[in-house]
């Protein structure tokens, strides 16, 4: 019989059963491997002066790399438009606007962001002001040198922060030559939202982008919603929120600061006092729109809880505040995400 | 003990061993789950285990691992935000030095992002 | 007996066993369940074993399949049905091959059937929920073979005491 199988067994029930089983088993394993998408992550450090992390579930390395490159390109493009420190060739960007005082042919995104800034100014009673650039610039330089700004100089510069001086009739023009715009409160949220829209339009279903603490999510991970940890300013985590499609933004006094004479000076300046806002240690906003969440978190950081609550209610968002004593306050629907 | 009984027992033991094998394979890689990923100019340059002490240098940035946490010890950047950040040890936590283009991040199970 | 009679007899036999199988699978849901999901005694497997040893393999397949469909129709649990399908296909295959080899007793065949059935369910879970489900595999394999061994003993006793039902009639 030397290894030869009798002809009959090719048609026997046993043989067929065996083969069928192998096929079925292999199909199951195969679909199991294919059906489980892999988690990929990438980070970019060259946009918006912060780190952007991108995590997505894709079927292959190539697929992820493609999306990652597209995301990076889009963020870079918007970063260059909103950058107030550098110009980039012919691009009519924010830096060029601040230097020249006007732009003839501004990119539509810049126009959109400025109009958004104007709306937020009136909604927040001036607590969110994109025209605060000159004051913010002084603080930025002072932080780098670890010294306090001269109060008179601050006062002086605050006179050049009138948002009404931005005219949008013919391109963009700043009526006050000593005024400058700063989009720090809005740019990241807006850019993350636009970039995410691009990815969604291209068919990516499950991903999250964290642009320096501005998180945009879409879809889920295999184990459920995306988990965003909110830091306790004194160390550790206060809580985690779980989102699928919503955006989460946290503004905190522990993110960017300088210590001068033993006192901490953080980077979110209260337009009324011209000094770092003292209301809260941290404010977290959850909203369907990343651009709104970014604006709201900065605005809420510079206002008391009552006004903040009114504002987020108006925009169907939720918020969590941590005050100077470590007390935590939540809006009604916030714990639905915990 | 007759033949089939012996085979039965062998079979039972084989399945039990398979169960133990799956258990071990899953547990062991999972145990040293905490490591610190060093990302420089967008690419992961190194993954440093958190158990152990040492200093890793990336350009002008010095990263120190000690007591199960990581921190940026020194950096050539102007604002020194990264150096002032407290040491990180939990999954998802990260410290960045934007001017130098360096980020350290703790990887493993846990929050996807921490802010 | 004519072939028509044989077919009729076969349908009746299978129907009866399917009904018993279905009842057993319902009865065991009334028993307290362990901490892990999907851990049951697997009593229905006793019927499958009986069919496997006393009737033909296809009878066992039919009884299993129809029982799963019945469970689905009556209890409406589609995902449960999917898990059962994975478990049943793989465990039937394993039991058939072990029985065919002739090297194992009913207890051996049954304990393998129980373990492989649970393996199939974990596989279904991995496909639907992700690799985290694999954590359940080690305990489910052990529990599967334990309950399978018990079922095998019971099936052996039944097979020994119940005459007929099969080709010998």
pTM, whole model, 2 decimals? 0.61
| % residues pLDDT > 90 (chain A) | 70
* CB-based contact, C53 to chain B, within 8 Å: no
Q: Is the pLDDT of residue A127 over 80?
A: yes
**Is B35-107 CATH 3.40.720.10?**
no
Q: Taking CB atoms and an 8 Å limit, are B22 and C142 in contact across chains?
A: no
Total number of residues shown for chain B: 115
Supply the pLDDT for residue B59. 83
How many Å apart are CA B97 and CA B75, to the nearest integer?
A: 8
* Domain spanning C3-161: CATH 3.40.50.300: no
Flag whether pLDDT at A184 surpasses 80.
yes
Task: Say how far apart CA A204 and CA A39 lie, in whole Å.
Answer: 13
CA B36 to chain centre: 5
- pLDDT, residue C97, reads 92
| C-beta separation of A171 from A103 below 8 A | yes
Mean pLDDT, residues A134-149: 92
Q: What is the pLDDT of residue A224?
A: 81
Q: Does residue C28 have a pLDDT over 80?
A: yes
Who among A45, A235, A240 is closest to B96 (CB)?
Answer: A45
Check if C137 contacts A (Cβ < 8 Å): no
- Average pLDDT score, chain A: 88
Residue with tokens 């004479």: A261
What lies within 8 Å, CB to CB, of A41 at 6+ separation is A53, A54, A55
Please tell me the distance from the alpha carbon of residue A322 to that of residue C107, in angstroms, as a whole number. 63
CA distance B84 to chain A (A): 9
Average pLDDT across chain C, whole number: 85
Nearest by CB: A21 against C93, C126, C132? C93
Which stretches of chain A are assigned E, i.e. beta strand?
38-47, 50-58, 102-103, 166-167, 172-174, 207-211, 214-218, 226-231, 237-243, 247-252, 257-260, 263-266, 280-287, 318-323, 328-330
Asked if the model's pLDDT at residue B30 lies above 60, the reply is no
Confidence of residue A325 (pLDDT cuts 50, 70, 90): very high
Q: What is the pLDDT of residue C63?
A: 94
Considering only the C-alpha atoms of chain C, give the largest distance between any 2 of them, rounded to a whole number of Å: 55
Q: Which chains touch C (3 or more CB pairs under 8 A)?
A: A, B
Residue in this structure with the two tokens 């209301």, named with its chain if needed: A279
User: If we measure between CA atoms, which residue out of A283, A254, A280 comes closest to residue B88?
Assistant: A254
* Domain spans of chain B, in order of start: 1-31, 35-107
Contacts of B112 in chain A (CB under 8 A): 55, 208, 210, 221, 226-228
Confidence grade of residue A303 (pLDDT, cut at 50, 70, 90):
very high
| Alpha-carbon gap, residue B98 to B30, rounded angstroms | 31
- C-alpha count within 13 angstroms, C-beta hemisphere, residue C54: 24
- Residue to mutate among B3, B6, B12, with most C CBs inside 10 A, is B12
**ipTM of predicted assembly, 2 dp:** 0.81
CB interface of A with C, residues 207-266, below 8 Å: 222-223
Section C49-64 average pLDDT: 92
Considering only alpha carbons, which residue of chain B is nearest residue A50?
A: B98
What's the pLDDT score for residue B115? 85
Tokens of A54: 């991108």
* C111 CB within 8 Å of a chain B CB: yes
Compute the distance between CA of residue A65 and CA of residue A77 in angstroms, rounded to an integer: 18
> Distance between CA atoms of A221 and A227, rounded to whole angstroms?
9
Residue C30 tokens read as 């009334």
Lateral strand order in the sheet of A226-231? A237-243, A226-231, B113-114
Of the candidate ranges A244-253, B10-19, C155-164, the one whose mean pLDDT is the lowest: C155-164
- Say if CB C112 and CB C130 are below 8 A apart: no
- Is the pLDDT higher at A296 or at A231? A296
Say whether A111 sits in a helix, a strand or coil. Answer: helix
d(CA A213, CA A52): 8
Domain boundaries, chain C: 3-161
Q: In what order do the strands lie in the sheet with B54-58?
A: B54-58, B61-66, B69-74
Higher pLDDT, A289 or B88: A289
Confidence at A141, pLDDT banded by 50, 70, 90: very high
Q: Between the ranges A98-102, A221-225, B22-26, where is the mean pLDDT highest?
A: A98-102
Has residue A8 got a pLDDT over 70?
no
């Amino acid at each position: 019989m030397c290894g030869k199988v009798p002809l009959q067994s090719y048609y026997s029930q046993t043989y067929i059963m065996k083969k069928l089983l192998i096929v079925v088993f292999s199909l199951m394993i195969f679909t199991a491997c294919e059906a489980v998408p892999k988690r990929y992550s990438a980070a970019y450090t060259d946009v918006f002066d912060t780190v952007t992390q991108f995590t997505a579930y894709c079927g292959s390395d190539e697929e992820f790399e493609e999306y990652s490159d597209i995301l990076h390109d889009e963020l870079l493009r918007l970063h260059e438009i909103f950058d107030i420190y550098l110009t980039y060739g012919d691009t009519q960007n924010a830096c060029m606007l601040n230097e020249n005082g006007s732009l003839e042919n501004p990119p539509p995104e810049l126009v959109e962001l400025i109009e958004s800034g104007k709306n937020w100014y009136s909604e927040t009673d001036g607590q969110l002001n994109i025209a605060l650039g000159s004051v913010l610039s002084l603080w930025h330089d002072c932080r780098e040198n670890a010294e306090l700004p001269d109060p008179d100089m601050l006062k002086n510069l605050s006179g050049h922060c009138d948002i009404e001086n931005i005219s949008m009739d013919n391109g963009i023009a700043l009526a006050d030559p000593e005024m400058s715009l700063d989009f720090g409160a809005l740019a990241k949220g807006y850019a993350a939202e636009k970039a995410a829209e691009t990815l969604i339009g291209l068919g990516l279903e499950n991903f999250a982008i964290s642009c320096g603490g501005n998180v945009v999510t879409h879809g889920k991970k295999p184990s459920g919603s995306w988990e965003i940890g909110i830091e306790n300013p004194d160390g550790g985590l206060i809580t985690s929120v779980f989102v699928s499609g919503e955006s989460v933004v946290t503004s905190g006094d522990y993110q960017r600061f300088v210590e001068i004479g033993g006192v901490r000076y953080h980077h979110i300046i209260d337009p009324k006092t011209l000094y770092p806002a003292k209301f809260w240690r941290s404010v977290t906003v959850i909203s369907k729109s990343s651009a709104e969440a970014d604006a709201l978190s900065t605005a809420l950081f510079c206002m008391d809880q009552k006004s903040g609550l009114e504002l987020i209610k108006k925009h169907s968002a939720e918020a969590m505040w941590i005050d100077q004593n470590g007390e935590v306050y939540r809006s009604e629907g916030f714990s639905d995400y915990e | 003990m007759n033949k089939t009984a012996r085979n039965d027992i062998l079979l039972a033991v084989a399945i039990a061993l398979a169960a133990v094998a799956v258990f071990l394979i899953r547990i062991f890689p999972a145990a040293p789950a905490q490591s610190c990923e060093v990302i420089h100019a967008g690419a992961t340059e190194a993954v440093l285990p958190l158990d152990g002490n040492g200093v890793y240098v990336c350009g002008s940035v010095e990263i120190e691992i000690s007591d199960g946490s990581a921190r940026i010890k020194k950096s050539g950047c102007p604002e020194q935000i990264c150096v002032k950040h407290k040491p990180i040890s939990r999954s998802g936590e990260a410290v960045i030095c934007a001017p130098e283009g360096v980020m350290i991040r703790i990887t493993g199970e846990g929050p996807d992002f921490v802010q | 007996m004519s072939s028509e009679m044989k077919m009729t007899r076969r349908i009746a036999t299978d129907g009866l066993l399917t009904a018993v199988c279905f009842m057993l699978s319902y009865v065991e849901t009334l028993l307290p369940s362990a901490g892990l999901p999907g851990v049951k005694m697997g009593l229905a497997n006793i019927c499958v074993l009986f069919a496997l040893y006393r009737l033909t393999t296809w009878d066992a397949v039919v009884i299993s399949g129809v029982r799963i469909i019945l469970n689905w129709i009556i209890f409406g649990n589609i995902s449960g049905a999917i898990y059962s399908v994975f478990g049943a296909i793989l465990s039937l295959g394993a039991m058939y091959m072990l029985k065919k080899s002739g090297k194992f007793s009913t207890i051996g065949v049954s304990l393998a059937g129980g373990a492989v059935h649970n393996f199939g369910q974990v596989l279904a879970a991995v496909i639907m929920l992700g690799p985290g489900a694999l954590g359940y595999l080690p305990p489910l394999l052990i529990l599967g073979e334990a309950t399978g061994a018990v079922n095998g003993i019971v099936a052996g006793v039944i097979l020994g005491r119940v005459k007929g039902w099969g080709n010998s009639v």
